Structure formats: structure tokens, C-alpha cells
Structure 1
Amino acid sequence: MDSRSFLLSISLILFIITLISHASAQSIIQIPSHKTQITGDRKIRVDDGMYCDSWRFSVETNDAGIWEYVPSRCAKYVQDYMTGDRYLSDSEVVSSYALNFAKNVNVSDDGKDAWVFDIDETLLSNLPYYEKNGFGSEPFIEESFDEWVDLAEAPALPASLNFYKELKQLGFTIFLLTGRSEDQRNVTDKNLLFAGYSGWEKLFLRGLSDQGKPADLYKSEKRSELVKEGYKIHGNSGDQWSDLVGFAVAERSFKLPNPMYYIP
């Protein structure tokens, strides 16, 4: 090979190396931040958006088990979900399935066909509070939340309010079963009326003997009281699995979305 050919070959090689380096740099710039997620024996790399979507799926299906607060990398994701159209749409879809079921119940005239509702994040939305407290990404402070409850200003979750009114038209007897304490009865009544709810048969709150009980046990016991009184619980709506499971469960239970907190 003569010197001219040798120089041309070297130039071509350098040109190819430059192109490869440039392409690699571009690829690095375009790749979003990734973290390693271990799934069984597999290790996969996922960006925050994909991870948080999978995390929300896991907590909604109760696969995640007990968790204390939203992972820091998902705080913005939960904020966008709760304040965006997706949360409202998910709530509407759940309520539409519940209404379709309710319309197929043969409601009698004896007033014993019942539907049970949780309150917080089921009938009432506490988003104004959580907007100021990290959407569940910060440790829960009971005293601070109680101050918010005392304002009695929580708005209705629109899908739930519409569904509630439909149930009244269908002739269901409605019971409200909340983890709030008995000393919050007056402000809870006031808030429900302020948000547009009315005509419930009874509002259950935690009395002294209920304090410290796991939510699933407490709510099961209250539902059991209804069953003993002759009520048939056709439906139960709540944002926590502990609203729905246990004993004296409803014929159908409907889980509303809530990736902000978990109550065992």
C-alpha cells in the first residue's frame, strides 16, 4: 500500500469513529434516567414514569401489601394523576360498573336492600389537604388531618355523588361507614351535606371500643351488625381494601382509586 492509500484509509477510519462517537453521545442524551428494578430473578431497567405506573397498579391491586407513603420518585406522578383527568375517569368507570350492578338488583319495598359507602376518598375528596401535604409522599400527621376535617370543606368526588343519587332513586338504603372518630360526627354530617349528600340511613364512626382496631376488623363488625338486623348488603364502595374485605362482605365490592395512602 502506498503512502497516499494509507493516509486515505486512516482518514476513513477516523471519520467512522467520529460518527460512532457522535451517535453514541446522542443516544446517551436521549435516554431518560433509569433505575434497576428486580422482578423475581430478572433485573430490568425502567424510567420513573414506567416504574410509577407499575407501582400504582401494584398498590391498587393490593399486591404491594402494607406501605407507608408514596416513593419520592413517584411524588410528581401521583400529583399529576390525582389532579388530572385520569383519576376522575378511573373513578367514573368504577362507579359505572357499580351502577350497572345496582340496576340489576331486585330492590324490595321493605328497605332492607343496603349499600355501604366509605367516606374519605370515596364520597368526599381530601385533595385540597393533600395538595398541601405532598400527595401522600410525606409522613401522615393525624393532628393536621383532623384540623382539615374540622373545616368540613371537603368536596364531593363527582362520580360518587352521581352514583349515590342514582342509588337513592333505585330504592337502596344507604349506610356510611368511616374510620373517623365519633367526636367528628357533627363536622362529618356538616361536610356531607355541604358536598351534596343526604338521606343516608346511618353513619358509623369509631367509638371508644373501636379505637385501635384494624380497619378491616372494625368495618366487618359494623357490617355484621347490619346483617343481623336483616339487611342484605348488595354493594360496598371504598378506596381501601380494608373497606371491603373481612367478613359480612357485600355481594359486590367496588374499589375506587387511591395511590396516596394505605390503611390496613
Structure 2
Amino acid sequence: MRYSSVILALPALSLAQQQVPLVDQLKGWFNKATEVVQGYVPTSVPSTVPEAVNAGAAGVASTAVQPLNLANYKQVLSPSAKAAQNAGPEEVLLYITGSNKTCYGLCDKADAAWNKAAAVLAATSSPPKLARLDCEVDGVLCNMWSAGPPAIYHFLLPETLADQSKPATTARFIQLNRTEITASDITELSTKEKYKETTPYEGLFHPIDGLLATTGANLPYGYVFWALNKMPSWLPMILISFVSRRFM
């Protein structure tokens, strides 16, 4: 009976997002789960409980995470007006995921971990900006950055200086283990600054300051390689055969 109340409560919380502030919503969600765990420890855990927790986390995360695409990525990866009031750069955690074609159907565990981590991070006193990129849906953007799922792109967006110049954006590409990743691993990237264990990326595919991005070549590059990935494996062989015969 106690677990059934949790199963009913979690989806309800995610549906009430417009009436209840996000932080209060998250606190209530975790408090209810804690009360049940403390008050009752069963000998066997029903399989529906983790499913309900995952569903609740996904519902809460969906209200706090900004979907990333070609139309809005420059805006999302720019310091917000709120960040201008705070000292130091603005932190962004971008989760990169996929499905059967881009992640070979192996991103489910990472997706569940991200949803739980995003719900926790959104409830902190100074939450980072959270975003999500699905390479199955926005393959051009993933190819622009040469980014494969599952992964976290961690950004520190600098403030614009008084002379209107903008310092370099610190970006770290953190590949996630598809079988062992946990919500704590993702949460601690921000709360314990474990992102610092990864060397900042400063190469060609840097989403903001890389050569492709600054010259505008990243978009055509992304489309070309997106099209090549969409091309059937037999088509290049036919084209090579056709060209070679014409040449001969």
C-alpha cells in the first residue's frame, strides 16, 4: 500500500508542473519517496516501483531541461540575463543521447540516469543550465560537433567584458559509460566539480570557439556527414563503380 502511494504520487507531481514551483515540486517528490523507504523495507521490491521512479524523474526533468536543436543552440549556449548578475561563468550541462541508429539502442540506462540527475540538479540552490540533444532527431548538430552519444558536454559560458569582448568558452566533452553510468556520476560533475577531471577541449569541433564554428563551416560540414550517414552502404559502391567505368 505504501509503494502504491508513491506510484500514484510521482506522475501526479510531474503533471502539476504549472501550478507548483519546480523546487517545491522536487522537494515534495523526494520527501514522499524518503518517507516510504524509511517507514517500510520490504523483502522484495515490486518491479513497478523503479519504473514509477523513472517516470517521475523523466517528468520532472522535462520541465527543467531545454531541448537543443539547430534553431536554438546558439541562444542556449549563450550566457543568460540571470547569469549577468552572478560573478563568474555560467555552467551548462548538455546531455547527448540517441536511439537505435545513433546509440545502437544502448542509451536507455544513460537516459534514466540523466533524468534522475537533472531532477536533482534542478532542485539545487544554484542549478546549472540543463539541455538535451538527441542525435536521432538532430543528427546535423551532432555531426557538426563530431559528438556521439551517450555523453555530457560541459560548458562554462563567460560573461561579456566591459569592452564587449568575449573570453573563450571552456568546453569539456565527457563520454558516458553505457552500462555503468549512474545518476550520482552525472550529478557530481556539477555538485562536486568532477568535470575538472576532464581536460578542456579546444579542437576543430569546439561548438563555440572551434575553427569550424568561427568560420561558419560547421553547418555545411554537419549536413555533409549527416547525409553520408543516411546513405545506404551499397550506394557508394555503385557510385564508385559508375565513375570508374566512365573514366575507363
Higher relative contact order structure (alpha carbons within 8 Å, sequence separation ≥ 6)? 1
Greater share of strand residues, 1 or 2?
A: 1
Q: Which has the larger radius of gyration?
A: 1
